[in-house]
Chain A
Amino acid sequence: MTIDYQIDDPENANLPHPNGHGPLGADMERRDGRDKVTGAARYAAEHAPDGLLHGVLKRASGMGTVCLTNVQEVEALAGVRLVLQDERMIRNAAQGTAGEAPVQGVDTADYIGQPVALVVADSSEIARDAANLLKVQSVGDDLPVLPKHGETDPDMQENSVTGKPQDAFDKAPVLVDATYTTPSLTSAAMEPHAAVAEWDGDRLTLYGSLQMLRYNRAELADCLGIEPDQVRLRAPFVGGGFGSKLGISADCVAAALAARALGRPVRVVQHRRQVFEVNTRRSETRQRIRLASHSDGRLTAIGHEGRVSNLPGEEFAEPLLQASYFNYAAPHRLLRSEMVRLNRPAAGSVRAPGAAVGVTAFEIAMDELAQKTDVDPVELRLRNLPDKEPGNGRPFSSHRLADCLTEGRDRFGWSDRAAQPRQRREGEWWIGTGMAAAVRVNLVMDAEARVRLTPEGRAVVETDMTDIGTGSYTILGQIAAEALGLTVADVDVTLGDTDLPPGSGSGGSVGAASTGTAVWLACAEIRRDIAARMGRKPEDLELEGGDVIVGNDRRPLMDLLSGETLSGHGKLAPGEALEKVRQATWGAVFAEVAVNDITGEARVRRMQGTFAIGRVLNQRTARSQAQGGMVWGLGLALTEAMVHDARDGHVVNRDLAEYNVPVHADVPYLDVCLLDDQDE
């Protein structure tokens, strides 16, 4: 049996009735933490079947038709097994939720850094040296790599006009008209993409570093020309993703092909420098933002126009405007974006696609308006909050931005700030403060999970969902424990295996809500079973401390099971609720920054974030997620930029010494406040 559930209406049933002291929502240690601090957690490359061979991807150093000029010579080297160039190999990683192969074929290089071959050898040292000796010639014309040279793709445009924005801009008492650019950015997860592929007859098992296995399985099967049920993907631990592991990656396809050709398991690990080129980056952007307002800062018109880029053949455009449809109220609104086709590494989702750069630019423009109107930046935002979604009048499922702004303001001590720049100095440092609102759309996706309740009174949660550091192992265990009246220690959680029911995967912040609901539904089926055994209705049932309670009747769950295992299967589908209401998460972030008057060095001294993100399932893991987002904000503002060579578009700073992610010394203690936020 399966409990199917489609969310067609706003869900306010407050499931699963927490009694206030259950495991759900608790501040609880990460379940997989012990494996992580002892080194027992095994990531993709750390599986070594007998007879393992080692593959290294070779990159193109020019664009155009690829010619490998000394294959025979390289294959003749001692310990070298194969130089593979196969039409099924992929040009770049698939886009998130593609479910089909990305652009295949590597005999032409569409961008510099594209993989063009795989060298397989007996050891990683031999494979690395052989790959260095392999000669690659590229013959072809120069392709556009600068936004000013690229062609706009007519199929990748967004254009939305409400009211008469141009009139409003022309007649505005106050107008901000500002243009911002942001550079390409990259995920740079700590674990490089890696695959270990092994065939058993015509069935493939592949350990991969992947975020969304249900889609990745279909993508890999499509790449190889086989059926999805011939592919088993495993990803029990994933060393970070941030979007870069949403789609099947070049290492997986190459490893599978080489393992098939050689009849032995093959491991392919992307070199750190390949991680920067072969997987998707966040597009560079150019954004023009116009804000028209009354003299008191109340907006009359919003304009947000953007330009992004992507490689030809990629159907993803950085969704810059996503939040600008509903962030602030204004009768007139102009939202436009376009995409230029460039032969730079492919662009795709990087942590908070759209919002990270779109909201940031918009919030900077709001600060410009605050300056022009002499209205406090927090007050300016409060004055412009919509009570319904602008344009279409949809209600918000919950709208807590005002609470985030005021709570954050108090926690940070915003009222103590000097409103004008250069008012506070300590030695050679100027001290300033700033704030921004955070807005991010909310989604749910298809998800399934199975839960078994064993005769010993233990629950086992099973789904192909991944835990990429987000805390899936922990919160899915908490949900099952809450629903079945068990402790978290009584629940085992098995993830990251496509032999299990397909969860949502990790991406777009959908995992907890989607797969978590599937786990809850599976538990609901078990509760129904238990109730039936007692001749009662499920809603009369209370499960607590391993006991079943109905009225005055309390007995151990184990007695009721009498040696049997109960199984539940939950299946969630997104429904009409996503259309009926606007769902979003909200936040406000405040920072105190010191800027050196002599060197210009900027140091963040304090940072406070207040967020309303729906029901918090685990205070500790949710807080870490919020802190991570704040660190990324700091990196976006101060340290990170991917630099493309202006002549050929290649990524110049493609390692962790040159692409600067924030380090310990860059990050102050990050104060996080998570507001209680449940849809009413």
Chain B
Amino acid sequence: MKTVLTINGQQVSLDIDTRVTLLDALRDHLGLYGSKKGCDHGQCGACTVIADGRRINSCLTLAAMHDGETIITVEGLAHGEALSALQQAFLGHDGMQCGYCTPGQLCSATAMLEEARAGRASQVTDDLTTPAPLSRAEITERMSGNLCRCGCYSGIVAAIEEVAAE
């Protein structure tokens, strides 16, 4: 099936099996291996990408369903050689060990900060009438769809806190 996507600023045209997930399209058909396959079932968040501004599990959706959309993957977070503030903060706080969950954590955190700026509430937001400050509890709640088995949560959250405070 013909599908056109704009990925990290570049328009690509694919002719693929309708069963191909967005994740497999990125990895196997476009060679963008930055998005990771940890569970293929929407349970771990390693495949998180940003589709039309929203973070999604790319393993849970078919590529053909995203025809015409704009997708940002981990490969698209930096501006040329210059890392994004979050990428840089992950290095500073060692918000990674094996690195396999890292692309998902980064895409998720990038979109999550936008959600918070837009005043979107989370499960732990007490007052829904005013925008919640991005406390540690808010960050960990909003990031809990991204598992890290190495246990780097302290570093990841410290990195997000640093960028959120800027």
| A interface residue numbers (CB < 8 A to B) | 29-30, 32-43, 45-46, 48, 123-125, 129, 187-192, 237-242, 269, 271-272, 468-471, 620-621, 623-625, 627-632, 655-657, 661-665, 667, 669-670
Across the interface, do B100 and A661 meet the contact criterion of CB distance under 8 Å?
no
How long is the Cα–Cα vector from A194 to B44 in the complex, in angstroms? 17
Question: B145 contacts which chain A residues (CB < 8 A)?
Answer: 663
Across the interface, do B157 and A39 meet the contact criterion of CB distance under 8 Å?
no
Chain B, residue nearest A129 (CB): B19
Chain A, residue nearest B124 (CB): A665
Across the interface, do A239 and B98 meet the contact criterion of CB distance under 8 Å?
yes
Chain B, residue nearest A38 (CB): B78
| B interface residue numbers (CB < 8 A to A) | 17, 19-20, 24, 27-28, 31-41, 43-44, 46, 73-75, 77-78, 83, 87, 90-92, 94, 96-103, 106, 136-137, 139-141, 143-158
Question: B31 contacts which chain A residues (CB < 8 A)?
Answer: 48
Across the interface, do A469 and B150 meet the contact criterion of CB distance under 8 Å?
yes
CB contact under 8 A between A655 and B39, given known A30-B91, A37-B87, A667-B154: yes
27 A-B contacts (beta carbon < 8 Å): A29-B91, A36-B102, A37-B77, A37-B87, A37-B102, A37-B106, A38-B74, A38-B75, A39-B33, A40-B34, A190-B149, A191-B98, A238-B98, A240-B100, A272-B40, A272-B43, A470-B97, A620-B94, A621-B97, A624-B94, A624-B97, A624-B150, A663-B144, A664-B139, A664-B146, A669-B154, A669-B158
Across the interface, do B44 and A33 meet the contact criterion of CB distance under 8 Å?
no
Cβ of A81 to closest chain B Cβ, rounded Å? 17
Cβ of B21 to closest chain A Cβ, rounded Å? 9
Chain B, residue nearest A618 (CB): B94
How long is the Cα–Cα vector from A239 to B97 in the complex, in angstroms? 9
Partner of A669, one of B17, B77, B102, B136: B136
Across the interface, do A38 and B144 meet the contact criterion of CB distance under 8 Å?
no
CB contact under 8 A between A656 and B33, given known A33-B90, A189-B98: no
How long is the Cα–Cα vector from A41 to B101 in the complex, in angstroms? 12
Across the interface, do A664 and B91 meet the contact criterion of CB distance under 8 Å?
no
Cβ of A27 to closest chain B Cβ, rounded Å? 9
Question: B102 contacts which chain A residues (CB < 8 A)?
Answer: 36-37
Cβ of A39 to closest chain B Cβ, rounded Å? 2
Across the interface, do B149 and A661 meet the contact criterion of CB distance under 8 Å?
yes
Across the interface, do A656 and B147 meet the contact criterion of CB distance under 8 Å?
yes
Q: A32-B99, A33-B91 are in contact. List 10 more A-B contacts (CB 8 A).
A: A34-B83, A37-B96, A38-B75, A40-B34, A45-B37, A272-B38, A468-B98, A624-B152, A625-B97, A664-B139
Tell me what chain B mostly uses at the interface: helix, strand, loop, or mixed: loop
How long is the Cα–Cα vector from A45 to B20 in the complex, in angstroms? 17
Question: A667 contacts which chain B residues (CB < 8 A)?
Answer: 140, 151, 153-154
How long is the Cα–Cα vector from A623 to B150 in the complex, in angstroms? 12
Q: Which 8 A-B pairs have the closest CB atoms?
A: A39-B34, A469-B98, A631-B151, A239-B100, A469-B97, A36-B99, A628-B151, A39-B74
Chain B, residue nearest A470 (CB): B97
Chain A, residue nearest B97 (CB): A469
Cβ of B70 to closest chain A Cβ, rounded Å? 18
Cβ of A77 to closest chain B Cβ, rounded Å? 14
Tell me what chain A mostly uses at the interface: helix, strand, loop, or mixed: loop
Across the interface, do A670 and B83 meet the contact criterion of CB distance under 8 Å?
no
How long is the Cα–Cα vector from A37 to B103 in the complex, in angstroms? 6
Question: A470 contacts which chain B residues (CB < 8 A)?
Answer: 97
How long is the Cα–Cα vector from A632 to B101 in the complex, in angstroms? 17
How long is the Cα–Cα vector from A124 to B59 in the complex, in angstroms? 14
Cβ of B158 to closest chain A Cβ, rounded Å? 8
Partner of B156, one of A41, A187, A469, A664: A664
Interface centre among A125, A471, A661 (most CB of B within 10 A): A125
Cβ of A172 to closest chain B Cβ, rounded Å? 39
Across the interface, do A34 and B150 meet the contact criterion of CB distance under 8 Å?
no
Across the interface, do B83 and A37 meet the contact criterion of CB distance under 8 Å?
yes
CB contact under 8 A between A237 and B97, given known A628-B150, A664-B144: no
Question: B101 contacts which chain A residues (CB < 8 A)?
Answer: 190
Across the interface, do B147 and A33 meet the contact criterion of CB distance under 8 Å?
no
Cβ of B98 to closest chain A Cβ, rounded Å? 3
Partner of B98, one of A124, A190, A663: A190
Across the interface, do A46 and B94 meet the contact criterion of CB distance under 8 Å?
no
Across the interface, do B150 and A240 meet the contact criterion of CB distance under 8 Å?
yes
Cβ of B108 to closest chain A Cβ, rounded Å? 10
CB contact under 8 A between A669 and B83, given known A37-B102, A190-B98: no
Question: B151 contacts which chain A residues (CB < 8 A)?
Answer: 624, 627-632, 662, 667
Across the interface, do A665 and B97 meet the contact criterion of CB distance under 8 Å?
no
Question: B73 contacts which chain A residues (CB < 8 A)?
Answer: 39
How long is the Cα–Cα vector from A271 to B38 in the complex, in angstroms? 9
CB contact under 8 A between A123 and B17, given known A38-B75, A39-B33: yes
Across the interface, do B98 and A631 meet the contact criterion of CB distance under 8 Å?
no
Across the interface, do A272 and B39 meet the contact criterion of CB distance under 8 Å?
yes
Cβ of B146 to closest chain A Cβ, rounded Å? 7
Chain A, residue nearest B86 (CB): A37
CB contact under 8 A between A664 and B100, given known A34-B91, A48-B28: no
Chain A, residue nearest B40 (CB): A272
Across the interface, do B147 and A30 meet the contact criterion of CB distance under 8 Å?
no
How long is the Cα–Cα vector from A639 to B32 in the complex, in angstroms? 34
Question: A239 contacts which chain B residues (CB < 8 A)?
Answer: 36, 38, 98-100
